[in-house]
Amino acid sequence: MNGELVIETQDLTKVYGEQVAVDHLNLKIYQGEVFGFLGPNGAGKTTTLLMLLGLSEPTSGKARVCGFDPTREPLKIKRIVGYLPENVGFYDDLNAQQNLLYISRLNGIPDEVAVEKIKELLKIVDLEVDPRKKLGEYSRGMRQRLGIAEVLLKDPQVVFLDEPTLGLDPDGSRQMLELIRSLSQEKKITVFFSSHLLDQVQKISTRVGIMIKGQMVAIGKIEDLAKEKFGIGQEKYTLEEVYMKYFQEGVS
Amino acid sequence: MKGILTICRKELADHFSSTRFILLFYLILMVSLVTAFMVGSGLRDELKDVAKPTFVFLMLFTSPGKLFSLIQFIAIFGPLMGIILGFDAINRERSARTLSKLVSQPIYRDAIINGKFLAGLVTIIVLLLAIILMISGLGLLLIGVVPGPEEIMRLFIYFVISVFYIAFWLGISILFSVAFRSMATSALAAIACWIFFSFFVAMGASVLADVISPIDPTRAANNPELIIDHEQTRKIISLFSPMTLYSEATTIILDPLRKTTQSLLLMGPMERLSISRFQNPLPLSESIYIVFPHLISLFAITLVCFAISYASFLRQEVRST
């Protein structure tokens, strides 16, 4: 593992009332990694993302993203970190360019620069847009691609993708994964993404983390995790088998 | 600051292109045309054979004509304008799932709510200015009097008070849009508030006054202080209604001959004959002196309202779902 440390957390904890959403999370992610963040619904994945972005205040513990503290300097982080929320929303009465232009203005990008950039990004995510078409008419897959374009608008160093392939057809999600992989390989962007589709995660992640009930029960390369659970004897393994093993142990 | 302006610009574009704004615009256009025409033609008949009274121009806004005057209209329906502009400010973003995206951009979180409030304020200013100018213009055509400098000053103060009055309701509706996730709930809550404060407080004031300082009929005959007490209690309670605050303040400002602060709402043309009028108009400074507490209260409740929504928005958790 080389490269700079991009994300680091120390005993990061978030408590909602009685419920512990994230429990003493320790995490280190390096530049250029594609980190797959796994776990059942309600395990605390989104909460972790929100805390790393400074959108939610940790109850205790520390986090650092690109050297900045999310609670103290959220704006510095938001300038270089792109976040694609689960089921990203757009302004339905504007067209694709107008939607992106609004976000680029919020990022302080001058309009002349932004217009060119938007054109380029729409090409990268392979989205042909008809300026007369409002976002309300877009399909799920088109919205998701537009979401990626929007995240890339600010030239991020890190992107957080929450369920980027949710609701996409097989071909759509394959293309999305290709795109994510190329981001990390060509642009050296660190990708931190959560997903439930384990075979897809296996295809593109350099490392995975499995979170259950707020605790990170496993973290590492898929083959290392498999070795730990199944021994070296087993040649063939899938992330699904590994995950289910951890999941059953974690829940029981 | 840049974030606020960007948001404000987007919101303004939204306001001016939305269907409800177009509806609102036609409503306002119609009302100002109708009031100006009614009042203008009514005044022309009234003024035919009498010596020209002072401040004729201001009567364009205060004289009820055949139906209602502009200040009555704004007192009653101004809140609706504010509510329409603000009731879905935050929860629309929430339900469209754009809020979590917006807060992850490099802007301060308060820029979102400030920008939205500012955009609403600008819209209110544009609308009100349009109405006032339209009525003035039509009035000039119909009765042919030119406003003097003092009249313009008074009109300007009236304009400022009205902006604050409507901005108060904008603040209330933005507050509800932060507090309630559903747009229908926040709209209904804001309208309920409007009805309560505008109509029920005025009615409830006399009922409450009866309870707090009752008039005992056996003692009231030789004890007029009881009646004064009762009346004062009623007045204080009715001042809890922003509509009362507003209509009292604007009436004093626009009608310098009035002796009471009572609103024009319940008064017809008979009021003009009653004893509640001065022989000579109050100077502008005196009028301002009388309505100053009203102004401060309106300003204060607007600020409080906005401050509450500001604070609760900043504290709210942002979840994508």
Distance from CA of A185 to the nearest CA of B (A): 25
The mean per-residue pLDDT over the stretch A229-235 comes to: 65
Tell me the one-letter amino acid at B281: P
Residue B268 is predicted with a pLDDT of: 47
Whether the per-residue pLDDT at B119 is higher than 90: the answer is yes
Tell me the one-letter amino acid at A221: K
Distance from CA of B123 to the nearest CA of A (A): 20
The secondary structure of residue B197, as a DSSP letter, is I
Please tell me if residue B316 touches chain A, with a CB cutoff of 8 Å: no
The mean per-residue pLDDT over the stretch A28-35 comes to: 91
**What's the sign of the alpha-carbon dihedral B309, B311, B317, B319?**
positive
Q: What would the two tokens of residue B26 be?
A: 């036609």
If pLDDT is split at 50, 70 and 90, which confidence band does B189 have? very high
Q: How far apart are CA B276 and CA B294, in angstroms?
A: 20
Residue B260 is predicted with a pLDDT of: 59
Contact: A50, B3; criterion CB under 8 Å: no
Q: How far apart are CA B59 and CA B53, in angstroms?
A: 10
The mean per-residue pLDDT over the stretch B153-164 comes to: 91
Q: Is the interface score ipTM higher than 0.90?
A: no
If pLDDT is split at 50, 70 and 90, which confidence band does B50 have? low
Whether the per-residue pLDDT at B266 is higher than 60: the answer is no
Contact: A103, B101; criterion CB under 8 Å: yes
Contact: A85, B96; criterion CB under 8 Å: no
Nearest to B77 by CA among B191, B177, B202: B191
Please tell me if residue B199 touches chain A, with a CB cutoff of 8 Å: no
> Where on the phi/psi map is residue A79: left (φ > 0), alpha (ψ -120 to 50), or beta?
alpha
Expressed in angstroms, the distance from the first to the final Cα of chain B is 29
A79, closest residue in chain B (CA to CA): B106
If pLDDT is split at 50, 70 and 90, which confidence band does A80 have? very high
Provide, as residue numbers in chain B, all residues whose Cβ is less than 8 Å from the Cβ of A49: none
If pLDDT is split at 50, 70 and 90, which confidence band does B274 have? low
Whether the per-residue pLDDT at B40 is higher than 80: the answer is no
Provide, as residue numbers in chain A, all residues whose Cβ is less than 8 Å from the Cβ of B10: 102
Residue B49 is predicted with a pLDDT of: 65
The mean per-residue pLDDT over the stretch A208-234 comes to: 81
CB–CB of B251/B269 below 8 Å? Answer: no
A160, β-bridge pairs: A83, A192
Please tell me if residue B314 touches chain A, with a CB cutoff of 8 Å: no
Whether the per-residue pLDDT at B315 is higher than 60: the answer is yes
Q: H or E segment at B211?
A: helix B201-212
A219, β-bridge pairs: A209
Question: Mean pLDDT: which of A65-74, B16-25, B55-64 is highest?
Answer: A65-74
> Where on the phi/psi map is residue A66: left (φ > 0), alpha (ψ -120 to 50), or beta?
left
The mean per-residue pLDDT over the stretch A94-115 comes to: 93
A68, β-bridge pairs: A65
Tell me the one-letter amino acid at B30: M
Torsion angle, alpha carbons of B90, B93, B97, B100, to 10:
-60
The secondary structure of residue B148, as a DSSP letter, is P
> What tens digit of pLDDT does each residue of B215-265 get?
777 776 777 777 788 888 888 888 888 888 888 888 888 877 766 555 444
Q: Measured between CB atoms, which of B6, B100, B317 is closest to A106? A: B6
Q: How far apart are CA A172 and CA B281, in angstroms?
A: 76
Nearest to A153 by CA among A105, A208, A87: A105
Distance from CA of B31 to the nearest CA of A (A): 30
B3, closest residue in chain A (CA to CA): A106
What stretches of chain A show up as alpha helix (H) in DSSP? 45-53, 74-80, 96-106, 111-124, 140-152, 170-186, 198-204, 222-230, 239-251
**Cβ pairs A/B, distance under 8 A:** 69
Whether the per-residue pLDDT at B277 is higher than 50: the answer is yes
Residue A84 is predicted with a pLDDT of: 92
